[in-house]
Amino acid sequence: MVDVRGQFVRGDKARERLAARPKSPKIICVNPKDETVRKNIKHPRGIAFRPTGSIEWPDDKFTKRRLRDGTVTLAKDEIPPAKT
C-alpha cells in the first residue's frame, strides 16, 4: 500500500515478501524398499529412516524421485502425525 506521498506504508514490503515465499510441502509417509535403503538413504533435510516402520518425508522433488525410481514406497496405511 502506498500513502499519499507515494511511499510504502511500513510493513507492506515484508508482508509481500512473506506472501511470495513458497509454502512448505505436505508431509507423506514412506517405506524403504529394503534394509540397504533404510541404512544408506536419507532425505537431504537430514531425515533418516527409523530402525523399523515408515518415516515422514516432505512431498518434494527428492521424495517424488525416490517414489518414481522405486527406492521408497508410499505407506498408505499410516497417517502422518499432526503438527502442533
Rg (CA), the chain: 20
Residue 59: all three cell numbers together: 512431498
Entry pTM:
0.64
- Taking CA atoms, 57 is separated from 1, 12, 73, in Å, by 38, 34, 12
pLDDT tens-digit profile of 18-58? 777 777 778 999 999 999 999 999 999 999 999 999 999 99
Given a cut of 80, is residue 4 above it in pLDDT?
A: no
pLDDT at 2: 53
Please state, rounded to an integer, the average pLDDT across all residues of the chain: 82
Residue with cell 499519499: 4
pLDDT at 6: 59
Element (H, E) at 4: none
Q: Residues 27, 56: contact at Cβ < 8 Å?
A: yes
Element (H, E) at 27: strand 27-32
Question: For the chain, what percent of residues have pLDDT higher than 70?
Answer: 77
